[in-house]
């Protein structure tokens, strides 16, 4: 998608609100403005639209019942609600299982629960492709585990985890299984009605709905405790007057995601592969991070050796291209992302990890432009890098450097 002569390839961070979705939302601000909890016609009209949206989210998830959908403010609230609900519902169970590559919405809460509330947290490692260590996962499971929370697909690399299998294993020891599917919903087919997954988080702004709206899938019959208490909204599972425009936007986004899912897994995937293949062919000493054979169709993360991701992003931005870095600035010193560290990506490459995330709005012309620009940017930055000058031409052996 081109905006103001720019090319947007940062769709895993957020997506543009689809104009068709916006049109569905606008009447909720002016024409259908009633409080859905009110008994008069103004409220009933809004309530009907919310229930329509609930059915659309049910459909994209392949859930058995629309009552299993609880609207929230987004992925982080859904993640927190799922984990805290399980711990409150099973207070005698004092262990949590998660992975080392989760979103901060899960990892930060787990760290808090571990340090402040004394829970034992099992953080399952990944290998060099970002795949979960299944033996470590199996070992961590026991009847003391209240909840397992493992993402469906990683936001940085796109690597997909076998969540249906993980859920079945969790159920064998009586644990609740939750998955953060913020990056996955709308990109890959789901049928929760046939799975052992108990709870699932999603966020509207990752699938062309607005920010500030999300949902938590809660399987019917699951013991559940709300995080927000107050009114009776969402069948007393999430108090607070409903964000009706956002909910309708999420419903419309879910409906469109089903329509476009085939395109995501064919045309968008082909564009991603074209971009990746061209960059790898034109730029020396770079490689794809994550599992190239088992990942989201829109996500490409390439690590460029001996240069900084932030410098790459700055020059891409000057060229009118938006992407994102695999590095994060912490306390004034640049550190590779926790995902790159967990995968054992060499330090010399982890800093240069750059994510290109496409959407159904991405065009081939845009990809061609990126292919034309990236090699020159990398060459320019490497010409300024003393590390590249020292290492250029030396044989490379990629080996994990993190414990």
Q: Hey, which residues are catalytic here?
A: 329
Residues 6+ apart with CB under 8 A from 286: 279, 280, 302, 303, 304, 305, 349, 352, 378
Which residues on adjacent β-strands are paired with residue 69? 217
SS (H, E, C) 109-128: HHHHHHHHHCCEEEEECECC
- Please provide the DSSP assignment of 90-113 as one string: STT--EEEEETT--HHHHHHHHHH
What tokens does 196 get? 């052992």
Nearest CA-CA partner of 124 in 112, 113, 114, 139: 139
Helix then strand count (H, E) for the chain reads 15, 16
The C-alpha torsion from 342 through 345 and 346 to 352, rounded to 10°, is -110
**Torsion over CA: 337, 341, 345, 350 (sign):** positive
- Please provide the DSSP assignment of 317-370 as one string: HHTTEE-EESEEEETTEEEE-HHHHHTT--HHHHTTEEEEE--TT--HHHHHHH
Residue 401: C-alpha distances to residues 315, 345, 348, 351 (Å):
28, 7, 10, 13
Longest dimension (CA), the chain: 75
Nearest CA-CA partner of 207 in 262, 263, 256: 256
Q: How many CB atoms lie within 10 A of CB 120?
A: 13
The continuous run of DSSP H or E covering 146 comes out as: strand 145-149
Note whether 216 and 78 are within 8 A (CB): yes
């Amino acid at each position: 998608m081109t905006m103001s002569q720019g090319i947007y390839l940062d769709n895993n961070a957020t997506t543009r609100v689809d104009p068709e979705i916006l049109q569905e939302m606008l009447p909720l601000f002016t024409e259908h403005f009633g409080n859905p909890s009110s008994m008069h016609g103004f409220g009933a009209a809004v309530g009907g639209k919310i229930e329509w949206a609930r059915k659309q989210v049910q459909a994209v998830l392949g859930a058995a019942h629309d009552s299993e959908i609880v609207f929230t403010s987004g992925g982080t609230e859904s993640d927190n609600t799922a984990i805290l609900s399980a711990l409150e519902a099973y207070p005698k169970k004092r262990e949590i299982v998660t992975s080392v590559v989760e979103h901060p919405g899960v990892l930060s809460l787990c760290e808090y629960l571990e340090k402040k509330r004394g829970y034992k947290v099992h953080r399952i490692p990944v290998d060099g492709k970002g795949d979960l260590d299944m033996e470590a996962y199996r070992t961590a499971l026991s009847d003391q585990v209240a909840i397992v929370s493992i993402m469906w697909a990683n936001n940085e690399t796109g690597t997909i985890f076998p969540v249906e299998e993980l859920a079945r294993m969790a159920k064998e020891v009586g644990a609740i299984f939750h998955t953060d599917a913020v990056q996955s919903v709308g990109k890959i087919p789901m049928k929760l009605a046939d799975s052992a997954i108990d709870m699932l988080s999603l966020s509207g702004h990752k699938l062309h709905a607005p920010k500030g709206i999300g949902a938590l899938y809660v399987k019917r019959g699951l013991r559940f405790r709300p995080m927000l208490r107050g009114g009776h909204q969402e069948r007393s599972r999430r108090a607070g007057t409903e964000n009706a425009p956002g909910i309708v936007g999420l419903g419309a986004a879910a409906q469109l995601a089903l329509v476009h899912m085939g395109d995501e897994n064919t045309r968008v995937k082909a564009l991603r592969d074209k971009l990746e293949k061209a960059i790898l062919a034109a730029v020396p000493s770079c490689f794809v991070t994550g599992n190239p054979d088992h990942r989201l169709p829109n996500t490409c993360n390439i690590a460029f050796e001996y240069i900084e991701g932030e410098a790459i992003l700055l020059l891409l931005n000057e060229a009118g291209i938006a992407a994102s870095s695999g590095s994060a600035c912490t306390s004034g010193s640049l550190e590779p992302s926790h995902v790159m560290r967990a995968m054992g990506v060499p330090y010399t490459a982890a800093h240069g990890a750059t994510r290109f995330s496409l959407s159904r709005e991405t065009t081939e012309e845009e990809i061609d432009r990126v292919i034309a620009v990236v090699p020159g940017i990398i060459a320019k930055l490497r010409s300024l890098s003393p590390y590249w000058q020292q290492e250029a031409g030396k044989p490379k052996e990629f080996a994990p450097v993190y414990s």
